[in-house]
Copies of this chain bind each other. A is one copy, B any other.
């Protein structure tokens, strides 16, 4: 059954097709009576606007491209949720692309976005991306474009992320407050800006509390679970060994917990632990894991809002604004020296 078109409605009502179009779009110069007749007929014929045709003539697809490394990482899926919520209410839809954390896929995806003629783009870039020329094309084409979370400073685009420096700073300061003095850091890849920031926050917190920074107390990793196990083993062999671990991710922290438990190291008294991201499971594990909440859903919402705003801006004035959300330290058992069971305060 072929879809109803404007033509069908026009024929039905013996008016011109352009009249129908205008009536449906609530054009001011169409009489209320015709508007009524048209909307009625449209409903009867079960008409749905063909957005493809409209997009072609208007030069705007009402599509927003969203690219993340993978949809099935809690952090990204919740960003996506936030984006979808906002975007839909503004009449846009999102098309989702995954980079699988690989630059080749990223490049290919960007081409797809060009073909799809998306009106705007939201990206969290691949872990292994160190060279951002393919993103430059987006800017050259004047497509509104905002980085979410993982961003690159060399490009003049909008950015929505959390203040990773501050998050790390809060985490480490908290550990120091709890009496920890030899705090090690499980870092992410140092070419990724956000991980660099977390590392910087770690160092700064140490310095501000007159603790010395030591190179051998920092290990770079891919932040996966298995890495946490290995790295924990490594730290346990040190003498004196660290009395706390600040991990740049929850999964890698989880791996460390597993290893510590296996070796019967008590958490937090022998070694305290703070993760980063505040994934669901932080409150499920034993001991529950202190972490930094990144407000991922809000991050998605904010980036989408900014983008939509930019899109509705007549004078295509580029918003190359950087928005850093405030990270939140969620204190749980893994770092609380003064034990008090089900603690769960927020700072």
- B77/A72 in contact, CB under 8 A: yes
Q: Does chain B have a CB within 8 A of A111?
A: yes
Q: Which chain B residue lies CB-closest to A289?
A: B284
Q: Which residues from B are CB-within-8-Å of A137?
A: 46
Q: Which chain B residue lies CB-closest to A261?
A: B286
In the complex, chain A residues 33-91 whose Cβ is within 8 Å of any chain B Cβ: 46, 48-53, 55-56, 61, 63, 70-74, 76-78, 80-81, 84-85, 88
Within the assembled complex, what's the spacing in Å between the Cα atoms of A220 and B142? 53
Q: Which chain B residue lies CB-closest to A280?
A: B281
Within the assembled complex, what's the spacing in Å between the Cα atoms of A98 and B61? 20
Q: Does chain B have a CB within 8 A of A97?
A: yes
Within the assembled complex, what's the spacing in Å between the Cα atoms of A144 and B266? 56
| Contact pick for A81, options B72, B74, B112, B115, CB 8 Å | B72
Among A51, A53, A93, chain B packs the most CB atoms within 10 A around the CB of A93
- B70/A81 in contact, CB under 8 A: yes
Known: A56-B56, A142-B1. A50 touches B95 (CB 8 A): no
Which A residues have a C-beta under 8 Å from some C-beta of B? Answer: 1, 3, 46, 48-53, 55-56, 61, 63, 70-74, 76-78, 80-81, 84-85, 88, 93-98, 111-112, 114-117, 137, 140-142, 254, 280-281, 284-286, 297
Interface pairs (23), CB distance under 8 Å: A3-B117, A3-B141, A46-B137, A50-B56, A50-B115, A50-B117, A52-B116, A52-B117, A53-B56, A63-B95, A71-B71, A71-B78, A71-B80, A71-B81, A72-B74, A72-B77, A73-B77, A76-B77, A93-B116, A94-B96, A95-B95, A95-B96, A96-B96
Q: A56-B56, A72-B74 are in contact. List 9 more A-B contacts (CB 8 A).
A: A50-B56, A51-B117, A72-B297, A88-B112, A93-B95, A93-B112, A94-B95, A95-B96, A281-B284
